[in-house]
Amino acid sequence: MFYENLDKILKKKNLTLNKLAKGTGIAQSQTTKWKKGFLPGSEILIKVCKYLEISSDYLLDLNPEAPPTLTDQEQELLEHFRQCSPGEQDSILLLANAGAAKAEQEKESSNSKNVG
């Protein structure tokens, strides 16, 4: 299951095993073994997970739910958020919660119009 789960993530992120090997500094011969059912050692697994920004639980099939994949915009937002002070983060969360509540209200309003 490791390779199948890895392959799904690579496709989602538009990556290849070759790019993964280069990006993590892992020998390409190592990634070839994964196709045959071999599992990576813990150090390599950590490198892969960090590079792909995913949980090892998913790759090792300990948690079958697909991990959420952040868009480039979401990743950028997260990076900026982490640079903010705690007070600024609280303000950002208030704004995001208000926006989500408004979107939910609009969705409910739209659904009720479609039903009636």
- Residue 1 in contact with residue 58, Cβ under 8 Å? no
Residue 6 in this model has a pLDDT that exceeds 60 = yes
pTM over 0.75: no
DSSP state of 63: S
pLDDT in tens, 35-79: 999 999 999 999 999 999 888 988 888 876 666 667 778 878 888
- Give the fold, CATH level 3, of 2-59: 434 Repressor (Amino-terminal Domain) (1.10.260)
Cα 37 to Cα 6, 62, 79, distances in angstroms: 12, 16, 35
Ranges of each domain in the chain: 2-59, 72-115
| Cα separation, 74 vs 53, whole angstroms | 13
Cβ–Cβ contacts within 10 Å for residue 59, how many?
A: 24
